[in-house]
Amino acid sequence: MVKTSNPLMKSILRKRTSIKQEDSSGEQKDLHDSLDYQFIEELKKTPLSLLLDDNHAFIKAIFQDCSDVVVRQFDIEPNIPALLLFVDGLTNTELLNDTMKSLMLIGGGETSVQRIADAILPVSQTQISDNYGDLLVSVLGGDAALLVEGNAKAILLGIRGTEKRSVAEPETETVVRGPKEGFVESIRTNTSMIRRKLKTPRLKMKSMCVGKESNTNLVICYMDDLAMPSLVEEVVKRLELIKIDAILESGMIEELIQDNAYSPFPQMQYTERPDVVAGALVQGRVAILTDGTPFALIVPFVFIQTMQTAEDYYERFQIGSLLRLLRYVFVFLSLTTPALYVAITTFHQELLPTTLMLSVAASREAIPFPAAVEAFIMEITFEALREAGIRLPKAVGSAVSILGALVVGQAAVQAGIVSAPMVIVVSITGIASFTIPRFNGAIAIRMLRFPILLAGAVFGFYGIFFSLMILIGHMANLRSFGVPYLSPIGPLSSGDMKDVFVRAPWWELNKRPEFMPVQDAHRMDDKLSQQIMQDGGLDGSSIQHKHHSSEEGNQNGSS
C-alpha cells in the first residue's frame, strides 16, 4: 500500500486493495463499499500530494488493470520530474507530442504549474485541479493531466481527439425543405451546431455529470431571457437527483425524469435536428444534450407537437396546414379503424350500404374466426413484419417487410384464414401510423390500438367511445413539467389555435405559445406585413416590357 499522510487517501487505497484480497467465500461487502455512489465525491475531497511519487502510486492503484490508461514519466529541463496521464484513444496524440516537446525544451528550471499553464503549454484550453476527483473525470473524458514535482495541483489539458461520426442528414426526421444536418455522438459538436443557429450570449449551456461509473456529460440549453427560471431549476433538480451507475442514452434520462412513467404517451420530445432544438429554445423551452447520443431531449412537450414537423414551418403555410390536417385524420384512422371495422361487422351491420354489407359478408363466409380474432391475427402479424424490417440490414429490411406483407396477406386470404377486407383495413391502419411524425408518438398510438380493438369487439361503438373518453381523460390529467398535455386545446388557449390543426402565416404567429410560461411573449412585430398591405405591392407601371419597346420602334420607323 502507498505510504501517504492523507487519511482519506489511505482509506480509498485500502478500499481498492481490499477488492484484490477478497476471499473465495463470495463476501462482497468491501467490493460494494468501494463502488458506492460517493466514490467520485470522495475523490474530490482528496487533494493532490506535493510528492510526485505519491501521486504516481495513487494513480496506479486506481487505474490498476486499465491497459488503455497511459502514465508517462519524463523530466522537464533541467531534471524536474513530471508525469503525464491520459487515455490512449481519447486524446489528440499530435497535440500531446507538441506539449511534451515544449516541456522538455523550456529550460530555466520552471516548476510552477500556473506559470507553465499560462506561458509555456501550446494548448488553448487548460484548467488547474487540486483534487483527484476532477482530475480523473477530466482524464477519463479525453483530457490529459500534467503533474509536476513540488506542486499539489495538476494542469488539465483540453486536447480531446476521439473518433467521431461526421455530420449527416438525420435518419429519423428527414425533410424535403430544410437543413440537412443532424446531431452526432459528440456533445461539443452538438453544442456548436446549436450555437451556430443562435448567435447570442443569451443562449446558456449548463454542464452536468450523471452516472456513478459512466460520468456522462450533460448540457442543459436554454435562453435566459425567455425560459422561466423555475423551469430551468426544475430540470436541474431532477437531473441532480439521478443516482444510477451509468447513463448510456438520453432515453434513460427521459424515463427517469418524466412526470408520469406509466403513461404510454411521450412527455418529452427527442430530436436529431439542431434547428428543432433552436426553435424550441426561442419558445422558452429547455433542451438536454447527452454525450454519446445524437438525440436531444426537449421539455416541456405537449401532444400537438407530436403532429408537427420542422418542414411545416419551412414550406408555405397552405402546404403545412394541409399536411397537418391530413396527419390528424390518419392518426384517428390509425387508432380506430380496426376497432370500427370489427364493431360494424359484428354489432352495427345496418350502418353499411346493402351492397357493401353483402360483399363483406360474402368475403367472410369461409373465414373460421370471428372478426375480432381475425383483426388481432393480422395486426400482430403486421407489427411483427414491421419490427423485422427495422432489425434486418437496410439492404434487405425494406424488401423483406414489403414482400412479407404481400405474400403473407395474399396467402392468408387464399387459405381462408382472413378476409380480403380485413387485409385492406390493416394496410390502411399501418399506412396511417407512418404519417405520425414523432416515432414515440406513433408507438403510443400503435399500443393503444389493441385495447380499443378489444373494447369494440366486446361492446361495439359503446366500447370504442368509452375507450376514447378514458383516453382523453388520461391525457387531460397528464403534465409535462407543469404544462397540461392537451394544451392549448385543454385548457383552451384561443391565441394558440393558429398553430394546432393548421399553421397560420408567419406574420400572424407574432407571439410565443401562451400555454408556455415565458419571460417575453412577443417574438416579432407586424410592421412588415402592414407595410406590404399598405403599399399594395409594386404596381409594375414603371417596368419597360420588351414588346412595348419593339412596338414603339415599329411606329417610329413607319412614321
**Res 159 pLDDT > 80:** yes
DSSP character string of 375-416: HHHHHHHHHHHHHHHHHS-HHHHHHHHHHHHHHHHHHHHHTT
Type of residue at 67: S
pLDDT in tens, 180-231: 999 999 898 999 999 999 999 999 999 998 988 888 999 999 999 999 999 9
Among 180, 185, 178, 156, CA closest to 170: 180
Cβ atoms of 174 and 439 within 8 Å: the answer is: no
> Does the structure show a pLDDT above 90 at 15?
no
Nearest CA to 6 out of 51, 59, 46, 34 is that of 46
pLDDT digit string (tens) for 392-414?
776 666 666 666 666 777 777 87
The grid coordinates listed for 440 are: 414515440
Task: Tell me if residue 424 falls in helix, strand or coil.
Answer: helix
Of 103, 135, 143, 97, the closest CA to residue 121 belongs to 103
CA–centroid distance for 162 within its chain: 21
Mean pLDDT of 417-441: 88
H or E element at residue 467? helix 461-477
Helix axes 274-281, 187-197, angle to 10 degrees: 60
Residue 204: beta bridge partners? 222
As a whole number, the mean pLDDT across the chain is 83
Helices (H), 211-316: 229-240, 250-257, 274-281
Rounded Cα distance between 260 and 252, Å, is 14
Q: What gap in Å lies between CA 194 and CA 514, rounded to an integer?
A: 25
Which residues make beta-bridge pairs with 217?
A: 209
For 139-215, list the strands marked E by DSSP.
Answer: 144-148, 154-157, 203-210
Sequential DSSP letters for 483-547: EETTTTTTTT-GGGGGGSSS---GGG--B--TTS-BS--B---SHHHHHHHHHTS---TT---HH
Q: Name the residue among 357, 449, 373 with its Cα closest to residue 418.
A: 373
DSSP 286: E
Straight-line distance from the first to the last Cα atom of the chain, in angstroms, rounded to the nearest whole number: 115
Q: SS3 breakdown of the chain: % helix, strand, coil, rounded to 5?
A: 50, 10, 35
Strand-pair partners of 135: none
Q: 35 or 512: which carries more pLDDT confidence?
A: 512
Is the CB of residue 120 less than 8 Å from the CB of residue 103?
Answer: yes
Q: CA neighbours within 13 Å on the CB side: how many for 114? A: 2
User: pLDDT band at 456, cuts 50/70/90?
Assistant: very high
Report pLDDT for 99. Answer: 80
CB atoms within 10 A of CB 404: 17
Chain segment 465-517, per-residue pLDDT in tens: 999 999 999 999 999 999 999 999 988 888 889 999 999 988 888 888 888 88
CB burial of residue 102 (10 Å; 0-12, 13-18, 19+): middle
Q: Average the pLDDT over each of 158-167, 324-333, 482-491, 497-506 and give the range with the smallest value.
A: 158-167
Report the range of poorest mean pLDDT among 33-42, 138-147, 325-334: 33-42
The whole-number pLDDT of residue 542 equals 65
For residue 137, how many other CB atoms are within 10 A of its CB?
18
Residue 19 has pLDDT above 50, yes or no: no
Indicate the pLDDT class of residue 558, thresholds 50, 70 and 90.
low
pTM: predicted TM-score of the whole model, two decimal places: 0.83
Residue 270 pLDDT grade (very low, low, confident, very high; cuts 50, 70, 90): very high
Q: Supply the pLDDT for residue 11.
A: 57
Sign of the C-alpha dihedral, residues 245, 249, 251, 253?
positive
With beta carbons less than 8 A apart as the criterion, state whether 72 and 56 touch.
no
Q: Is the pLDDT of residue 301 over 90?
A: yes
Higher model confidence: residue 14 or residue 381?
A: 381
How many angstroms separate the Cα of 522 from the Cα of each of 41, 85, 282? 44, 51, 11
Q: Bridge-partner residues for 146, per DSSP? A: 84, 155
* pLDDT per position as a tens digit, 91-145: 888 888 888 877 776 655 556 777 777 666 777 778 888 888 888 888 888 889 9
* Residue 250 near residue 288, CB atoms below 8 Å: yes
Predicted confidence (pLDDT) per residue in 523-533, tens digit: 887 777 777 77
Asked if the peptide bond before residue 300 counts as cis, ω within 30 degrees of 0, the response is yes
* Alpha-carbon dihedral sign for residues 384, 389, 392, 396: positive
The single-letter DSSP state of residue 313 is G
Residue 173 phi/psi, 5° resolution?
-140, 65
Q: CA-to-CA distance for 97 and 440, rounded, in angstroms? A: 47
pLDDT (0 to 100) of residue 32: 37
Residue 45: pLDDT band with limits 50, 70, 90: confident
